[in-house]
Structure 1
Amino acid sequence: MRIALTVLLLAWPIAAAEEKISIRTSRQGDLREVAVDMLLPVPLQRAWEVMTDFDRMSEFLPNLEESRIVGRQGERLQVRQRGVARYGWLRFGYASVREVSLTPYTTIEIKGSDDHVRQFGSRAMLTEQDGRTKLSYQAYWEPNGWLAGLIGDAAVREQVSLQFSALEREMLRRESQATNKGEAR
């Protein structure tokens, strides 16, 4: 009984962490999809601030080496990004200019392509929930050729978890700084 209780107590923080972010993947031929749901412990405006900080994203997102807004027309942006996607021992450099459409504080839509991906797109939807932010994210991509078969669902979930955990850390860091400075939420 004591061993079972110890195992349960040790496993509880792991189970709690897994409930914090829900990641689902699917595949239809070469088309890959991922859906993420998570509750972020920051106000909506802080989450929005971080998720749309394209000029500084390479400072807090792993695998992203450069991110810069290269064009703007109202709530439509062109963002140049360059980095390295890592899946186990596989590494793929990428560079793209992404078309970003913003609906302030609720929706971020991104579309584009690059040398390794025929098409990709994503939609992040944010809603406020008791002073926190609920994030619902869907993305799709269609890798070029042989790349599609090499990347399994576990690798996709790992990379997505890594990226969203980094976003959350940056949100918490900025929220802490704002709180320490006495800024209003």
Structure 2
Amino acid sequence: MQQAVFLLLLLVIPAMHAQERLRHDSIHANATRVVRNGEPFFEVKAVGVVRATPQQAWVVLTDYDRLPEFIPDLLTVKVLSRSGNTVRIEQRSSAGFLFVWHTIRMELNVEESPSSAIHVTLVDGDMHRYDTHWTMEPLAQGTRITFSGVMEPRFPVPPLVGAAIVEANLKRTVEAVVAEIERRTAH
């Protein structure tokens, strides 16, 4: 009996890890350093698929107060005001590379299109530029979640590894969002 349990564990544990890798591998992220009209910035895009409806994804993405609980490096989010589908928030996050870390404060204007899109623009803060979008597209077996936009911090980003750092952070963020949506909809 012990041998059967051991053999079962030998088969199940690698399969569980393979499924976890498959889920994370299904999230594609890209960050490209661009210069237009003398202005440098990052163009970013990340796409993932979640086993949930757009409405279920929407509930998680617009639960602003709880975002720091599951999004890596997001320290705080505070709703400053709400008027219809427009929300003003302040958020603080942490970003860095090796031994150099920065706390980033941003006041953001959020335009909500319920269950389909969220458009986020910079009002004030520690970024030169921040204009991003979350979209939720229904699929036969779930929802495609896309995060895209442009961003440029006020602090220097290492030129040789900057895009790779932004891309890795972006992928971690979307992975965390997908995991939280699936965690909440599993109940």
Write the distance in 2 (CA, Å) between the matches of 1:43 and 1:81: 27
Instruction: Quote the residue 2:116 is aligned against.
Output: 106
- Equivalent residues of 1:75, 1:103 under 8 A apart: yes
| 5+ residue gaps, structure 2 | 1-13
Number of aligned residues: 169
Instruction: Quote the residue 1:68 is aligned against.
Output: 78
> Which amino acid counterpart does residue 27 of structure 2 have in structure 1?
I
The alpha-carbon deviation at position 64 of structure 1 amounts to: 1.3
% identity of equivalent residues: 21
- Per-residue deviation, residues 101-131 of structure 1 (Å, max 9, x unmatched): 0000111000115553111010111111124
Instruction: Quote the residue 1:6 is aligned against.
Output: none
Write the distance in 2 (CA, Å) between the matches of 1:78 and 1:116: 16
Q: Helix, strand or coil for the counterpart of 1:45?
A: helix
Cα RMSD (Å): 2.5
Write the distance in 2 (CA, Å) between the matches of 1:48 and 1:146: 33
Write out aligned runs for 1:32-51 (5 A). 32-51=42-61
Instruction: Quote the residue 2:32 is aligned against.
Output: 26
| 5+ residue gaps, structure 1 | 1-8, 178-185
- Per-residue deviation, residues 116-165 of structure 1 (Å, max 9, x unmatched): 31110101111111240111221211232633637522211211111111
After superposing on structure 2, the runs of 4+ consecutive aligned residues of structure 1 that deviate more than 6 Å are 12-15
- Equivalent residues of 1:142, 1:148 under 8 A apart: no
Write the distance in 2 (CA, Å) between the matches of 1:79 and 1:145: 22
Q: Helix, strand or coil for the counterpart of 1:169?
A: helix
- Equivalent residues of 2:27, 2:175 under 8 A apart: no
Change in CA separation of 1:15 and 1:64 when aligned onto 2, cut-off 3 Å: closer
> Which amino acid counterpart does residue 109 of structure 2 have in structure 1?
E
> Which amino acid counterpart does residue 24 of structure 1 have in structure 2?
N
Q: Helix, strand or coil for the counterpart of 1:83?
A: strand
TM-score (norm 1): 0.80
